[in-house]
Amino acid sequence: QVRLVESGGGLVQAGGSLRLSCAASGTIRPINAMGWYRQAPGKQRELVAISLNSGTTTYADSVKGRFTISTDKAKNTVDLQMNSLKPEDTAVYYCNAVRLGENHWGKGVLVTVSS
């Protein structure tokens, strides 16, 4: 069982920054990828950014150039630095880990960007 605990959500004005962190624990070897998804009210959950064990990272077009994902394999953490936030970034952000083909999810943290 993989346990994911997120932190760092909150309220920020447009143009501001927030940093989300996620720590994985439990049966975590091997983790093949870690990343972040988000779900806005009335919308489907969508990929924000993901980092593969190979080092490859993928970002949603809507966050490229503004968000940066980083992982620490020794600490089993994944962070998401979010800059130049926009009201449309408002959502619940979920930490995701893929282990042996299975997706594992955190409970989510709310990010609210005011205009």
* Cβ within 8 Å of residue 71, ≥6 positions away: 34, 51, 77, 78, 79
Question: Tens digit of pLDDT for each residue in 103-115?
Answer: 999 999 999 999 9
Mean confidence (pLDDT) of the chain: 96
pLDDT more than 70, % of the chain: 100
> Which band of pLDDT confidence, cut at 50, 70 and 90, is reported for residue 78?
very high
Q: What is the pLDDT of residue 28?
A: 80
